[in-house]
C-alpha cells in the first residue's frame, strides 16, 4: 500500500512538473513573439504553481529560472513601453 501511494505521489509530482514546464515553454514562445503581457502572465502562473504545488523544486532552480524569465519580460516591457 505504501509503495502504491509513493508511486501515485511520484506520478503526481511528475505531472505537475510537466504542467509547470509547459507554462514556461508557452511563456518562452509568447516572449519570442513579442507578446510580453502573455509571457508575464504565463511565467507568473508557473511561479505560483511551483510555490504552491511543488515547493521542493525551488531547491533545484526551477523557480529561479521562472523568476529570471519573468524579469526579462519586465525589463523588455520597460524598454519597449506600453
Domains of the chain by residue range: 2-80
> Average of pLDDT values for 26-47?
96
* All cell numbers assigned to 56: 521542493
What percentage of the chain reaches a pLDDT higher than 70? Answer: 90
pLDDT surpasses 90 at 45: yes
pTM (two decimals): 0.83
Residue 53's Cβ-side half-sphere holds a number of Cα atoms within 13 Å equal to: 17
Q: What is the pLDDT of residue 58?
A: 57
* All cell numbers assigned to 79: 524598454
CB 53 within 8 A of CB 72: no
Strand, coil or helix: 33: coil
What percentage of the chain reaches a pLDDT higher than 90? Answer: 57
Amino acid at each position: 500500500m505504501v509503495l502504491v501511494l509513493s508511486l501515485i505521489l511520484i506520478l503526481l509530482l511528475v505531472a505537475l512538473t510537466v504542467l509547470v514546464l509547459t507554462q514556461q515553454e508557452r511563456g518562452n514562445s509568447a516572449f519570442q513573439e513579442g507578446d510580453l503581457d502573455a509571457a508575464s502572465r504565463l511565467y507568473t502562473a508557473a511561479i505560483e504553481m511551483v510555490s504552491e504545488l511543488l515547493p521542493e523544486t525551488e531547491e533545484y532552480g526551477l523557480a529561479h529560472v521562472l523568476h529570471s524569465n519573468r524579469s526579462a519580460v519586465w525589463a523588455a516591457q520597460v524598454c519597449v513601453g506600453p
